[in-house]
Amino acid sequence: MRSFEQKVFPYLLLAPTLIIFGLFLFFPAVNGLWISLTKWDGVNPQKFIGIENYVKLMSDRGFWESFFQTILFTAISVPLVYASALGLAMLLTGERKGNDFFRAVFYWPTMISSIIVGLTWRFLLGEDFGVINYLLTAAGRSPVKWLTNPNYAMGVVIFVTAWSMSGYYMVMFVSGIKAISETYYEAARIDGAGGLAQFRYITLPLLKPTSLLVIVLSTVTIIKTYPLVYALTQGGPAGATKFMVQSIQETGFQKNQMGYASAMTMILFVLLALFTVLQFQINKGGEQDAD
């Protein structure tokens, strides 16, 4: 009986989760890899073509433009989301009056559909009928082409993304900060450490697990961003804010090249996997140095 409890029963408990994981994650991933090796329009029978889709990708200028734009977008957005979320958490952690209200205010955008967020900011930033340009015109200024000028569009998308996501990760940081024992800060104050020193040598190191979680989750979310950007700019102007997920969607569902779109998806999957592994390795290395 003890042998059954130790060797078999744990797997029985894990079975429902493993079945769900296999059906909805593992099988679609393997199937996507297979489709990437075929020529398929989504309707007619698949035709196996090996790595032709990947060879074609190597010279696909449009795909690589969206790839590098995704990297740029992610490289700027993730630190901005991290810094704004941590900053808000530092300001709104504690028992000061009004903290609960402001935490709710900053968390509120995360509860709105990303499409609604995009459309709302499109209404605010529209060139001809946008509220902000109306106010600028009323103040005697020229309207700004926020969404139709490539020099502004990427910045707008990054700002709106950070605005819509920071509140969610703020909650994680608030929980992490509250979990830090007050005795560390008391000892630091006795030793004469100021607020900046306490933040640098106590708060940041002890928030490392939370920071890793925030960076990984926000990176995955931002790389996969599609509805918000599409509602805001439709990938324009002239493809300036067209990212990988939009390229995949257009290739698969507008051009009916499901096999080619699946090959793009595999590149995206590898990018996400490499980044996640890199982050965990960096975190592991930092822990070993600390030891």
Which distant-in-sequence residues (6+ apart) come within 8 Å of 120 by Cβ?
A: 112
Neighbour tally for 16: CB within 10 Å: 9
Q: For 202, list phi and psi in degrees, rounded to 5.
A: -120, -60
What is the Cα gyration radius of the chain?
Answer: 24
The DSSP letter of residue 148 is T
Residue 290 pLDDT exceeds 60:
no
Length of the chain: 291
Say what the pLDDT of residue 244 is.
Answer: 93
Q: What is the DSSP string of 232-263?
A: HHTT-STTTT--HHHHHHIIIIIS--HHHHHH
**Of the given ranges (150-164, 209-223, 237-251, 272-286), which has the lowest mean pLDDT?**
272-286
Say what the pLDDT of residue 6 is.
Answer: 66
Torsion on CA atoms 127, 245, 277, 202, rounded to nearest 10: 20
80 against 22, higher pLDDT: 80
Write the pLDDT tens digit of every residue in 38-91.
999 988 999 999 999 999 999 999 999 999 999 999 999 999 999 999 999 999
Nearest to 178 by CA among 166, 190, 170: 170
**DSSP H or E segment with residue 231:** helix 227-233
Looking at residue 219, its amino acid is: T
Beta strands in 30-145 (DSSP E): 38-39, 47-48
Residue whose tokens read 């402001």: 102
Say what the pLDDT of residue 22 is.
Answer: 85
Tokens of residue 97, six digits: 């009056």
Average pLDDT over residues 225-239: 91
Nearest to 127 by CA among 140, 115, 145: 145
Say what the pLDDT of residue 27 is.
Answer: 87
Residue 284 pLDDT exceeds 80:
no
Write the pLDDT tens digit of every residue in 118-165.
999 999 998 878 899 999 999 998 889 999 998 899 999 999 999 999
Say what the pLDDT of residue 276 is.
Answer: 81
CA distance 284 to 37: 36
